[in-house]
Structure 1
Amino acid sequence: MRRPTLIALLALLALGSGTAQASADKVTLSAKTTTCTTGADDASRAAAFTGAMPAATQTKRMQMRFVLIQRLGVGPKGTFKKIAVPGWGGWEKSDPRRQAFVFTKRVEALTAPAGYRAVITFRWLDAKGHVQRTTVRTTPICEQPDPRPDLVLDGAAATSVSKTTAAYDVSIGNEGHGDAPPFAVTITVDGTVSDPVTLGPIPAGGRVTGLLAAPKCTPGSTITITLDVANTVAESVEGDDAVQRPCPLA
Structure 2
Amino acid sequence: MRKTACTATLVALVLAAPASGQTVPTRASLDACHTGAAPLDRFAVFSGQMGTVPGTKRMQVRFDLLQRAAGGTGFRRIQAQGLGVWRSSVPGIDIFRYHKQVANLAAPGQYRALVGFRWLGDGGRVLQQAVRRTRTCKQPDLRADLAIGPLTAERAGTGKLAYTVIVRNDGRTATPTFGVGFAVGDQAQPPQTVQPLAAGEQRALTFVAPRCDASEPVRVTLDPDLAVDEANEGNNTRTIPCPLSG
TM-score, L = length of structure 1: 0.70
Give the drift of 1:153: 0.9
Which secondary structure state, in structure 1, belongs to the residue aligned with residue 11 of structure 2? coil
8 Å Cα contact 1:33/1:50 also seen in 2: yes
Which secondary structure state, in structure 2, belongs to the residue aligned with residue 195 of structure 1? strand
Structure 1 gap ranges (5+): none
**1:6 alignment partner in structure 2:** 5
Opposite residue 239 of structure 2, the aligned amino acid is Q
> Counterparts of 1:228-243 in structure 2 under 5 Å?
228-243=223-238
Which secondary structure state, in structure 2, belongs to the residue aligned with residue 65 of structure 1? strand
**1:112 alignment partner in structure 2:** 106
Question: Aligned partners of 1:143 and 1:192: how far apart in 2?
Answer: 46
Which secondary structure state, in structure 1, belongs to the residue aligned with residue 79 of structure 2? strand
Give the drift of 1:84: 1.9
Opposite residue 197 of structure 2, the aligned amino acid is I
**1:209 alignment partner in structure 2:** 204
> Counterparts of 1:94-243 in structure 2 under 5 Å?
104-108=99-103, 110-113=104-107, 116-124=111-119, 131-144=126-139, 148-176=143-171, 178-218=173-213, 222-243=217-238
Give the drift of 1:121: 0.9
Question: Aligned partners of 2:204 and 2:137: how far apart in 1?
Answer: 35
Over aligned residue pairs, what C-alpha RMSD do you find? 4.2
Count how many residue pairs are aligned between Structure 1 and Structure 2.
241
**1:31 alignment partner in structure 2:** 28
Give the drift of 1:180: 2.5
Which secondary structure state, in structure 1, belongs to the residue aligned with residue 227 of structure 2? coil
Note the alpha carbon deviations across 1:80-122, whole angstroms, 9 max, x for none. 3332239x74135798567xx76543334x1434664423112
Note the alpha carbon deviations across 1:185-210, whole angstroms, 9 max, x for none. 13322432222111132244443332
Give the drift of 1:47: 0.4
**2:38 alignment partner in structure 1:** 41
**Distance verdict in 2 for CA 1:62–1:203, change over 3 Å:** farther
Question: Aligned partners of 2:208 and 2:33: how far apart in 1?
Answer: 46
Which secondary structure state, in structure 2, belongs to the residue aligned with residue 83 of structure 1? coil
Give the drift of 1:230: 3.3
Question: Aligned partners of 1:227 and 1:124: how far apart in 2?
Answer: 58
TM-score, L = length of structure 2: 0.70
| 2:63 is equivalent to residue 67 of structure 1 | yes
Give the drift of 1:240: 2.3
Give the drift of 1:228: 1.7
Which secondary structure state, in structure 1, belongs to the residue aligned with residue 190 of structure 2? coil
8 Å Cα contact 1:74/1:145 also seen in 2: no
Give the drift of 1:244: 2.0
Question: Aligned partners of 2:4 and 2:123: how far apart in 1?
Answer: 52
The alignment-based identity, stated in percent, is 29
**Distance verdict in 2 for CA 1:91–1:117, change over 3 Å:** farther
**Distance verdict in 2 for CA 1:43–1:102, change over 3 Å:** same
Give the drift of 1:133: 2.0
Note the alpha carbon deviations across 1:50-76, whole angstroms, 9 max, x for none. 3356877x5868845132437597563
Give the drift of 1:158: 2.5
